[in-house]
Amino acid sequence: MLYQIYETQRSIMEPFADLAEVASRMFTNPMLPLAQLPGAQRISAGYDLLHRLGKDYEKPVFGIRTVDVDGVDVVIHEHVEIDKPFCELRRFKRFTDDTQTLAKLKSQPVVLIVAPLSGHYATLLRDTVRTMLKDHKVYITDWKNARLVPLADGEFHLDDYVNYVQEFIRHLQKAYGNCHVMSVCQPTVPVLAAVSLMASRGETTPLSMTMMGGPIDARKSPTAVNNLATQRSHEWFENNVIYRVPDSFPGAGRRVYPGFLQHTGFVAMNPDRHASSHYDYFKDLIKGDNSSAESHRKFYDEYNAVLDMDADYYLETIETVFQEFKLVHGTWDVRNEQGELERVRPQDITRTALLTVEGELDDISGSGQTAAAHDLCSGIAKSHQMHYEAQGAGHYGIFSGRRWRDMVHPVVKSFIAAHQPTAGVKATAKPAAKAVKTAPRKPVAKTPAPARKAAARKTARA
């Protein structure tokens, strides 16, 4: 019922938000008399802010058209390579007429970036993708809004997430021989499970895993996010945050954790900061500081765009990761595509290098939560393990912005390169002869301080 009430309210507010946008433009258009009134700029700013507070935010686009590779503009063509009911495997294919650059692009490592399914769209990693494209062939998991997935496509469980990741890895292995995997935040857990299961079966595993700011062991340095999950029971979450999608959407009737509730939670974590940001935006409009105003719009166009998560997936994640800590306790069983239960055993991984990345000021995944992967992956040689702590970086700073580009990315790039077979050598699961020698769980490269399976369909596209 709450979802229906919200949609009714949004439908009522939508025309007012549109009118506010029109009014804002009328008070700034020099051809109209309203723009000549005293205080017109302030009135326009007020209407603009009202429009942005009331408008509906749709899924953003990646919008990466070109990247600079050693001074050469390389064109990016984005397309969906595999289309699953709840996720698309999206490829960013690079094109250039420069023969030397083209040869370089073809020899670069293949990286699967597993984006979070935790409220925001995969476009939150736009900066991650853009930076990685300079030195890697890049694919990303683009998770779908559950309210747009018809009930006929089945349910989506945490097990299905793990199976999706394995399918994508196998797809890239078939195309390129092998690949590297990078997971950001929430997917560190299912990615570790996916690779563990592949290792236990004797399958070829990725050349490396890069895990960034994820809750591998949520017991360590618990944050507000962790505390909420531990202080509430499974029944509380099911009774208070799970609702059915209204009839106006393709996924009508599906049980979901609605995006608007998630967004409310995001804002509630730092309400003063958001209020201050909106007031600063209002002042920037009055001053005519278009650059600062545009930066605000870009951030909130992304931040305010949220998706619904399938209820089964969400509730199982809360239980498995934040309440029962099944991964670290060695009690997690995943149902494979054949409907059989398999135990997740990270200690079986022996031929995949491991890099963990944490932000010094991360208030989402606390210190030590991601680094805990090193203790679990005891089968990986110490010389093939590395931990990096980004000084002064918060949660978003480890995958977006200046600290990501200047501090974290060089470490990730070097680690992947160290475990990429040299030219002419087939990419297999065997680790490279030379590896980055570091001790796990220690910041070695610090910067200076300042069958429940859903009925699935698979469509391969050129």
317 Cβ contact partners less than 8 Å away, ≥ 6 residues apart: 158, 186, 189
Same domain (yes/no): 339, 354? yes
CATH code assigned at 143: 3.40.50.1820
Residue 168: the pLDDT is 98
247 domain-assigned: no
How many CA within 13 A on the CB side of residue 290? 0
Distance CA 209, CA 217 (A): 17
452 domain-assigned: no
Give the DSSP letter of residue 245.
P
* Helix axes 188-201 and 158-176, enclosed angle (nearest 10): 60
Q: What is the pTM of this model?
A: 0.87
449 domain-assigned: no
What is the tens place of the pLDDT at every residue in 160-217? Answer: 999 999 999 999 999 999 999 999 999 999 999 999 999 999 999 999 999 999 999 9
99-113: average pLDDT: 95
Same domain (yes/no): 314, 298? no
Same domain (yes/no): 37, 109? no
321 Cβ contact partners less than 8 Å away, ≥ 6 residues apart: 189, 215, 218, 229, 327
Same domain (yes/no): 182, 134? yes
450 domain-assigned: no
Determine the length of the chain: 462
For residue 332, give its domain range: 66-237+309-418
Instruction: Please report which confidence band the pLDDT of residue 434 belongs to, taking 50, 70 and 90 as the band edges.
Output: very low
| Positions of E strands within 337-433 | 341-343, 353-359, 385-390
Which of 3-7, 23-27, 354-358 shows the lowest mean pLDDT across its residues? 3-7
43-60: average pLDDT: 93
Instruction: Please report which confidence band the pLDDT of residue 104 belongs to, taking 50, 70 and 90 as the band edges.
Output: very high
Same domain (yes/no): 40, 155? no
Same domain (yes/no): 161, 222? yes
What is the tens place of the pLDDT at every residue in 266-278? Answer: 788 788 989 999 9
309-310: strand order across its sheet: 243-244, 255-257, 309-310
213 domain-assigned: yes
251 domain-assigned: no
Same domain (yes/no): 212, 319? yes
430 domain-assigned: no
Same domain (yes/no): 131, 209? yes
Same domain (yes/no): 98, 217? yes
Same domain (yes/no): 8, 145? no
* Average pLDDT taken over every residue of the chain: 89
Domain final position from 269, 288, 303: 303
Same domain (yes/no): 83, 218? yes
Give the DSSP letter of residue 426.
-
Q: Count of domains in the chain?
A: 2
